[in-house]
Amino acid sequence: MVTTSQIGNRFRWELAAQVGQAVSTAILLVILARLLDPDSYGLLYLTISYIAIAEVFSSLGMKNSSARYIAEYKEEDCTQVPYIIQISFLVILFLALIVSMGLIAGRHYIAELAGEPNLAPFLLIGSLYLVFTTVHEYTRKLVQGFEAIELSAQIKLVAGLTKPIFAVGFVILGYGALGAYVGYVVSVFLGTIVGILVLYFRFYRNFKPGPIMEPGLKRRLVEYSIPLTGTQAAGRIDNQLDTVLVGFFLTPMAVSYYVVSKQIVTFIERPASALGFTLGPTAAAESTAGNTGSLSRIYENALTNIFLLYVPAAAGLTLVAEPMIELLFGTEYLGAVPVLQILSIYAVLLSINLVISTALDYLGRARIRAILKGITSIMNVGLNIILIPQLGVIGAAIATVITYSLYALGNTYIVYNEINLRLKVILIDIIQIFSITMVMAISVFSILDFITGWISMILVVGIGVTIYATLSVAIGLVDVKEVTTALT
């Protein structure tokens, strides 16, 4: 049975990687927003959205399926692990190359369809980014399946920390948004090389293959990848197609408003992402060992801590959205303020799903999650098509919040049935969290007018954090000794 200490150590490594990448991404986000005009900035991230959608077809759920079976077979029959790696790597590489060539061939048609002729050269560079990103994520996912979260985190850090160096460097050299994208390609290429080396020397070479592959293993790998592909496709529709639709109905400047807001939400989601990534393979291992009681307690604590962190964060983000956008990006991006305020709700919903959705994949419930994700994603597209022409970029944010609320509720219900969560215990904590968040929000709202620059902004945020932390400790939501132990 996995211990709390082991989970804590893995989480710290993954959190360090997530925070490291978040900081580098934030630096990149702000610097590029300052160096590029809103139209060029929007065009860059519009391209990234197109490539992210294409990535669905470059892996087809194979990396997640392989990670799930590695997590099982390393416990039951490790002689099959090399076969899983061999098959999945060849499939991933083949798919990535095929989709990349299709992107190269169709780049002018896509640009014409989008009404943005300047998109074509970005898509050409994006074909390389697609291949490297696919393989990079594949190696990281398989290392996660071995529960080697520390190594997986290091693979992530290589690409994350080098991205701002190369992207900003090429912009400073005068290559503009296109140069920034080349910087993205170089950084993910380095991460891919490190990932392949780690996967081969640390794992593949150290597992002796059995005389033959287990009958039916290849079929099960492919079969389980099918619902995962559906989930991945639906997820990309939720996360990227809304950006594409904003670009289609509105302008690159509107895209920049939407992207800036979503990037800020992504920045604060790193702890939830790290926790979900850490607990995923643990869910498979604990379930296989029959430790359902231990597993349910782990996820009860995880969900309570997620609410404890993200409910006040969302409230604070809503309150300081305007001065923060102006200080970070300038007055040209103030159109992003209402979008960010609406997406602060999405931040809470996303944090819940980041923690529990990976567990469903590892517990063998990918099919039902794929169905749920598909339904809500179709709803999201429909709402975007209706709301964006009527409400502008705010409509995209509203559509995201509505559909993601349904998805979060559905996932929570599945997990509740799968591992017998004690919802009453969680709900009591949530009521307390919302209560002290209201006290904190009222206090911060009363001093918002004092924000005139970075120093006053930090002071106001610090006051809010202090009030919330003090109340959390006072009513017993946070145990100082446990927090100190977890961080050391």
Whole-angstrom CA distances from 17 to 7, 21, 71, 140, 362 are 15, 6, 21, 12, 22
The two structure tokens encoding residue 396: 């995209």
> Which residues make Cβ contacts (< 8 Å) with residue 129, sequence separation at least 6?
51, 181, 184, 185, 188
Measure the CA–CA gap between 46 and 333, rounded to whole angstroms. Answer: 17
Confidence of residue 99 (pLDDT cuts 50, 70, 90): very high
Nearest residue to 242 via CA among 404, 409, 419, 461: 404
Chain mean pLDDT for the chain: 80
Helix, coil or strand: residue 345: helix
Q: For the chain, what is the total number of helices (H) and then of strands (E)?
A: 18, 0
102 pLDDT more than 80 = yes
133 pLDDT more than 80 = yes
122 pLDDT more than 70 = yes
pLDDT of residue 487: 45
pLDDT tens track for 335-353: 888 999 998 888 888 888 8
- Phi, psi (5° rounding) for residue 114? -80, -10
Measure the CA–CA gap between 423 and 234, rounded to whole angstroms. Answer: 28
Share of residues in the chain with pLDDT > 70 (%): 83
Residue 465, Cβ neighbours under 10 Å: how many?
15
- The mean pLDDT of 446-475, rounded to a whole number, is 86
Whole-angstrom CA distances from 410 to 1, 11, 167, 367, 403 are 29, 26, 39, 13, 11
Residue 348, Cβ neighbours under 10 Å: how many?
23
Measure the CA–CA gap between 91 and 199, rounded to whole angstroms. Answer: 16
473 pLDDT more than 70 = yes
pLDDT of residue 429: 84
Report the b/e string of 410-440 with b at 16+ CB within 10 A.
bbbebbbebbebeeeebeebbebbeebbeeb
Confidence of residue 132 (pLDDT cuts 50, 70, 90): very high
Q: What is the dihedral of CA 98, 100, 105, 108, to 10 degrees?
A: 150
Instruction: Please tell me which residue, 99 or 211, carries the higher pLDDT value.
Output: 99
pLDDT of residue 149: 74
Confidence of residue 270 (pLDDT cuts 50, 70, 90): low
The two structure tokens encoding residue 94: 């083949």
Burial of 476 (0-12, 13-18, 19+ CB in 10 A): exposed
pLDDT of residue 82: 85
Q: Where are the domains of the chain?
A: 4-421
Helix, coil or strand: residue 146: coil
Comparing 4-8, 203-207, 217-221, 321-325, which segment has the lowest mean pLDDT?
A: 4-8
189 pLDDT more than 90 = yes
- The mean pLDDT of 103-119, rounded to a whole number, is 85
- The mean pLDDT of 369-380, rounded to a whole number, is 82
293 pLDDT more than 70 = no
pTM given for the model = 0.65
Helix, coil or strand: residue 250: coil
Helix, coil or strand: residue 451: coil
The position carrying tokens 């002290």 is 436
> Which residues make Cβ contacts (< 8 Å) with residue 427, sequence separation at least 6?
none
